[in-house]
Amino acid sequence: MGSEILINVRPNQTRVAYVENGELSDLKVERQKAPTSVGSVFKGKVMRVLPGMQAAFVDIGLERAAFLYVGDIRGDIDSEKLLAEDEASENPEKEYEAGSLLESPTTESEAPVLLIQDLLKEGQMILVQVAKDPLGTKGARITTHVSLPGRLLVYMPTLNHLGISRRIVSEQERERLRVSIESLNPRGGVIVRTAGEGADINAMKQDLEYLNRTWKEIQRNNEKRKTPGLIYADLDVELRALRDLLTEEIENVIVDDQRVYKKVVNFVTQFMPKFKNKVKRYRDPQPLFDLYDLDLEISRSLGRTVWLKSGGYIVIDEAEALVVIDVNTGRFVGKKDLEDTLLKTNLEAAKEIAHQLRIRNCGGIIIIDFIDMEKELHREKVMSALKEELSKDRSRTEVVSMSELGLVEMTRKRIRPSLVSTLCESCPYCDGKGYIKQKMTVSSELFREIEREALRSSRELRFVVTCHGDLADWIYAEETVALENLEKKLGCSVAFKIEQSYHIEQFAIEVG
């Protein structure tokens, strides 16, 4: 069984699944009311310049101000010319990977260190592109180095670089691509994407001309617009997926919506005509994702615990800037000895972890707590298995060697919110903590507060406590002696008033 791209369209959201051998390998979900801004170009107004952070906050018309770091600012930001010739020299030996399209390829040695207060002023209007969507309490991350991805190339009009995708490994092919791009004499930087492998010079020329026209349109729109806001929007999620994922390995592109089907056919016909026959219209009444039980796999990827086939399991906890993954043997007891059991569990977990990182779109710093193994050879096997699985990931990953405690530190490039952030929200009852106080803890807090109130008065008091019914029932059932001792000690009486709308941790004390 080969690979397929499934496009499931509903009025409120679009889901694109990349399926390999019947298994979900990649998933993109975009809500109609919360589309991604990554890749879109905005006209922005500098709101605040922070020399202490060497960063600025820029109003680009979104709900929260965007964040612009000094390293993402062109040295010629006020200049009319497109390229600063002294900003960087052409470096054809440097490699780039498909997926890091919005990363500036400059290095510290290529340009003098500039301070943000020398580059930007409050109230200044600048052209920026969103590199990362807003996440949690943070606004979007933006850059002034615009990158326009095409089918075969990425065009960077504000830089002067030539790069080749890291996934193209043949030196002969890399050299051919370098020569071909240089012969086109592009005015700006160009990265050859993985899809450009084997492409002829005419196809690359057409791609570059299209991206050049897009850049000129962006410039015209920028001149016309006088206020912060959107200038150029990247493609819809289904077209972005085809641009980035559609290759010879894909057998079918299946779409379950007539309007989107026509849009996909037109896009493929214009930019990838040789794949036109792979686009299929899905008409079966059975939901498209049910063909491979993808909804079940998505639900599994929203859970904290993921069970392995052997009986072991992994636990995934996501924080705002950190993901922690714990590996456990669970029900798996093995057959030979302890070391063999631990090795098999860790190897299976390594594969599942890489798979879950792709599906969940986890990013930032990731800490993996593998089960500790005594043999160095077994540790090396687990690390090799993890790196091999991560090599299939389209997002850039960096892995640090396993520590003596069995911990692996790694990073995964994050551009868009994770699957959990997209499909879920914090629990309104526990406020996202994942736990609530025990009834014993709340009752102890309640009794201590009554003591404080009693100390403020010398007369006999009558307290009326308003609380959740479950807390009152628990106190009468489990804390009767403690309540009687409190009343006797303080010379007061305590009555309870039930309010079911209260949180289990909430109470109010009135003094009669």
Q: Quick one: what percent of the chain has pLDDT higher than 70?
A: 92
The dihedrals phi and psi of 365, each to the nearest 5 degrees, come to -85, 135
* CATH fold group of domain 41-233: OB fold (Dihydrolipoamide Acetyltransferase, E2P) (2.40.50)
The helix/strand count (H/E) of the chain reads as 12, 25
| Residue 479 pLDDT class (50, 70, 90 cuts) | very high
159 pLDDT higher than 90: no
Predicted local distance difference test score (pLDDT) of residue 334: 66
Span 200-219, pLDDT tens digits: 999 999 999 999 999 999 99
Q: How confident is the model at residue 387 (pLDDT cuts 50, 70, 90)?
A: very high
Residue 112 pLDDT level (bands cut at 50, 70, 90): low
CA neighbor of 464 nearest in space, from 502, 507, 503: 507
CB-based burial label for 364 (10 Å; 0-12, 13-18, 19+): middle
Query: Is residue 397 within 8 Å of residue 413, measured between CB atoms?
Result: yes
Domain positions in the chain:
3-34+239-295, 41-233, 301-423, 439-511
Q: At what angle do helices 480-490 and 439-455 cross, to 10 degrees?
A: 10
Question: What homologous superfamily is domain 3-34+239-295 in, according to CATH?
Answer: ATPase, nucleotide binding domain (3.30.420.40)
The CATH architecture of the domain made up of 439-511 is 3-Layer(aba) Sandwich (3.40)
Least trusted range by pLDDT, from 89-93, 108-112, 395-399, 475-479: 89-93
How many angstroms separate the first and last alpha carbons of the chain?
76
Cβ-based neighbour number of residue 205 at 10 Å:
17
Summarize pLDDT for 246-257 with one digit per residue, the tens.
988 899 999 999
